[in-house]
């Protein structure tokens, strides 16, 4: 068992990000057994869950003429437009059926404000509106985070970069993550994470 000052943060292991889902990540379901096994090592386990309203502004359908995976500008900066996914209370928003949820002491829902997306577990995409996770971790005396889940180059990377910026010691277990990799986004985010001092391990 790892020290109680370490937490496992499991990012968005939801049906819509697994094969057959609305925003399927290749091999998304393959991470589940490894993540389940890792949970036994940690006294503190947090699960995050994308939790979008039907009319979320990041959905391509909300922008007439826009194609999924295109870019638009929002008041908070550039935003990728996604297929409709992880809609609140839908089967796609549910955790993968094989993911262990009982070890989780906190389930953090993000992306529930229609006007702003939230890749990171710590901040919405304006990088200033907090989700509350930092306060939870600080209150529990946690200084080291281990991140797994999906997608490596979006929600995992944004979470890792924000956590490093806040002074946490951050490790991403790459073998327990899967990426979307839009236009070289995986390599770019791997470089950004390394530059920020995030540890990338197999």
Nearest CA-CA partner of 6 in 124, 161, 108, 147: 147
The 10 Å Cβ neighbour count of residue 6 is 18
16 tagged catalytic: no
CA–CA separation, 117 vs 164, rounded Å?
20
155 tagged catalytic: yes
DSSP one-letter code for 84: S
The CA–CA distances, whole Å, from 159 to 14, 33, 97 equal: 17, 22, 24
Q: What is the DSSP string of 94-155?
A: SBPTTS--TT-SEEEEE--STTS---SSSB-TTS-SB-SHHHHHHHTT--EEEEEEE-IIII
Catalytic residue of the set 29, 117, 153, 155 = 155
Catalytic residue of the set 18, 29, 86, 110 = 110
177 tagged catalytic: no
CA–CA separation, 160 vs 78, rounded Å?
19
CA–CA separation, 17 vs 155, rounded Å?
11
CA–CA separation, 123 vs 48, rounded Å?
12
Q: Which residues participate in catalysis according to the annotation?
A: 12, 110, 155
């Amino acid at each position: 068992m790892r020290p109680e000052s370490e937490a496992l943060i499991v990012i968005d292991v939801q049906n819509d990000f697994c094969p057959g889902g609305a925003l399927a990540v290749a091999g998304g379901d393959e991470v589940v057994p490894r993540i389940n096994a890792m949970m036994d090592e940690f006294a503190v386990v947090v699960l995050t869950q994308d939790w979008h309203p039907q009319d979320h502004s990041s959905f391509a359908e909300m922008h007439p003429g826009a194609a999924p995976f295109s870019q638009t500008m929002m008041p908070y900066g550039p935003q990728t437009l996604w297929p409709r996914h992880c809609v609140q209370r839908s089967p796609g928003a549910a955790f993968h059926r094989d993911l262990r949820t009982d070890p989780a002491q906190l389930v953090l829902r993000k992306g529930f404000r229609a006007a702003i997306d939230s890749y990171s577990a710590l901040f919405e995409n304006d990088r200033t509106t907090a989700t509350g996770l930092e306060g939870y971790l600080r209150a529990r005396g946690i200084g080291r985070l281990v991140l797994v889940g999906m997608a490596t180059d979006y929600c995992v990377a944004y979470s890792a970069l924000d956590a490093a910026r806040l002074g946490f010691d951050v490790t991403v277990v790459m073998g327990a993550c899967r990426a979307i990799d839009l236009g070289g986004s995986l390599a770019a985010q791997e470089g950004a994470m390394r530059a920020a001092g995030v540890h990338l391990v197999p």
